[in-house]
Amino acid sequence: MADTQLYFITAALYLLLGFRMLVLLRAQSRSAEGQARGEGMVRVLILGTLVVHGFLLHRALFSEDQLDLSLGHSLSLTAGVTVALYWIVSFRYRLGILQPVLLWFTALMVLLPLVLPADKQVSYSGLLAFKVHLVVSLMAYGLFAIAALHAILMAMLERRLHDHDKRLSLLGPLPSLVAMDSLLFQMVLAGFLLLTATLVSGVFFSEALFGKPFLVNHKVVFSFISWLIYGSLLAGRQIWGVRGRRAARWTLVGFAMLLVAYVGSKFVLEVLLHRG
């Protein structure tokens, strides 16, 4: 495991950047130019923090010749990929409170390997099929994590619009509900395509590793259920015009299935059963 201090330094950077972003969001009186300059500086600092996080993950995951994909490191890696994807999205869309929440959540994920230090060495990490599967799956999980946070934000915004809840003004300036709904389905579509590629690449990876083209287990079952949910949501959008609160709800249900498939299985095996 990498030096403990580096975990706390990385988490502190994410935490401080989250508070800095929150201050910027609440500075309603700041000029547009000053707001843009402040957000630009935060983007640069986030990029620097991602580099530090990447260095930490490289030291932790590749401490030996094999890849360590234990639960804590897997969640930290997925959170880092999620921040990187959101960093790219933020150049086009401004989503208010979503960014500091994501940064604070990532700070927590960075520290998880210290609480869940069980090692899980992956001896087949050199296989090309596994590398493709890992990269695609991380991108899919990252996009769906952003979509889930986005769905929660949409629900809060809809509540602010319908109930006139002044407390929710702390969320800062947000795009219109129509724009947020459109962005949600863009992220779900991209995540769905990546999840499809994940399932397909998993078949090839399984055949290369175990000599079997398809292994039916709880991880595969819940991943497929999630795939069906997101596919149905996209179809419902095209056929029945599903949107708003209903779309947000099913986005969260699909993400919950992914969490059960990946995080749930690893938690049971590594933490409860103490198996690799």
Is the same domain home to 79 and 18? yes
Final residue before a domain boundary, out of 122, 138, 169: 122
Top-confidence residue, 124 or 70: 70
pLDDT at residue 156 is higher than 60: yes
Which tokens belong to 151? 């769905």
Find all residues with CB under 8 Å of 255, minimum gap 6, and list them. Answer: 144, 145, 147, 148, 226
In angstroms, the Cα distances linking 232 to 195, 236, 238, 276 are 14, 6, 10, 34
Share of the chain above pLDDT 90, in %: 25
Element holding 33 (H helix, E strand): helix 32-61
Interatomic CA distance for residues 78 and 2, integer angstroms:
18
pLDDT at residue 104 is higher than 60: yes
In this predicted structure, what is the pLDDT of residue 273?
A: 45
Is the same domain home to 272 and 154? yes
Is the same domain home to 169 and 145? yes
Give me the chain's average pLDDT, please: 79
pTM of the model: 0.77
Cβ atoms 79, 10 nearer than 8 A = no
61: containing domain: 1-122
Is the same domain home to 146 and 113? no
Q: How many domains does the chain have?
A: 2
In this predicted structure, what is the pLDDT of residue 52?
A: 95
Is the same domain home to 173 and 242? yes
Helix 71-89 and helix 98-115, axial crossing angle in degrees, nearest 10: 160
Is the same domain home to 6 and 116? yes
Q: Summarize pLDDT for 38-66 with one digit per residue, the tens.
A: 778 888 999 999 999 999 988 887 766 66
Share of the chain above pLDDT 70, in %: 73
Is the same domain home to 73 and 148? no
Final residue before a domain boundary, out of 122, 150, 170: 122
Q: Summarize pLDDT for 223-276 with one digit per residue, the tens.
A: 899 999 999 999 999 998 888 888 999 999 999 998 888 776 555 554 544 555
The sign of the torsion formed by the CA atoms of 220, 221, 224, 230 equals negative
Is the same domain home to 260 and 141? yes
In this predicted structure, what is the pLDDT of residue 225?
A: 92
